[in-house]
Amino acid sequence: MSLRFARTLLVASSIIAITLIAAACGSSNASPTSSGGSASAGDIVVSGAWTRPMTASMPGMSMPSSSPGSMDMGGTTMPHGSPMAMDMSVTDAVYFTIKNNGNAADQLISASSDVAGSTEMHQSTLANGISSMKPVSAVDVPAGGSVSFDPGNYHVMLVGLHRDLNVGDHFDLTLTFKQAGTVKVSVEVRPN
């Protein structure tokens, strides 16, 4: 192989790598920062709140009228006629970043929004390729640190949407912190 050919190859591969860097940086810049404003209370700043579009009305579940007193659901037994039987709710997840500019730790202890029947804090986990989700009662925000609510990790789950969430819509989410109190943040609806 001639030196000149080798040099051409090296230049070509470098260009590919630089293109990859540019592409990667482009995509990482695109998502979290575009949802506009931030809101704060005390030392806590919440920014970049977003959720995916979702329709509030979906065809409900069918509950076989002939079903016996309990039903097997992959190992979990549900009593027949439980509130779940009437539940036609649609869920969605809200993501954002919390920054604590103070010298003392704080805790996010609850979330609420009038777009949904209830609002819960959850954490998704992945172990051996299996995803699981569990409710969390509080999320620590360390002094001088930040916590990201991101897909695949912490999220605020909206349960039972009262209205459709369409791309471009905004709605309020109120986050309550143990020390800083409440922060009302505007959530942007966007695909990702």
Partner 1 sequence: MIVIAALLVVLAGGSAWAAGLVPFANRNATVHGTTYDANTVAPAFTLEAAGNKQVSLSDYRGDVVLLYFGYTYCPDICPTTLATLARAREALGANANKVQVIMITVDPQRDTPDRLSAYVQKFDPSFIGLSGTLDQIKQVASGYGIYFQAQKPNADGGYAVDHTAGVIAIDGQGKQRLLESYGTTSDQFASDIKTLLR
> How far apart are CB 179 and partner 1 at their closest, in Å?
27
CA distance 157 to 174: 13
> How far apart are CB 96 and partner 1 at their closest, in Å?
14
> How far apart are CB 128 and partner 1 at their closest, in Å?
9
Chain residues binding partner 1 by CB under 8 A are: 1, 6, 9-10, 12-14, 16-18, 20-21, 23-25, 27-28, 52-55, 58-62, 71-76, 78, 82-85, 87, 89-93, 118, 122, 124, 126, 129-135, 151-152, 155, 157-159, 191-192
Amino acid identity of residue 70, one-letter, is S
CA-derived radius of gyration, the chain: 23
> How far apart are CB 62 and partner 1 at their closest, in Å?
5
Residues in contact with 44: Cβ distance below 8 Å, sequence separation at least 6, in sequence order: 98, 99, 100, 101, 102, 106, 141, 177, 179, 180, 183
Nearer residue to partner 1 within complex by CB, 41 or 164: 164
CA distance 147 to 47: 11
CA distance 84 to 67: 14
> How far apart are CB 146 and partner 1 at their closest, in Å?
19
Nearer residue to partner 1 within complex by CB, 173 or 180: 173
Nearer residue to partner 1 within complex by CB, 23 or 143: 23
Helices (H) and strands (E) in the chain, counts: 1, 13
Nearer residue to partner 1 within complex by CB, 42 or 53: 53
Going from the C-alpha of 130 to that of each of 82, 120, 125, 126, the distances in angstroms are 28, 22, 8, 5
Nearer residue to partner 1 within complex by CB, 103 or 132: 132
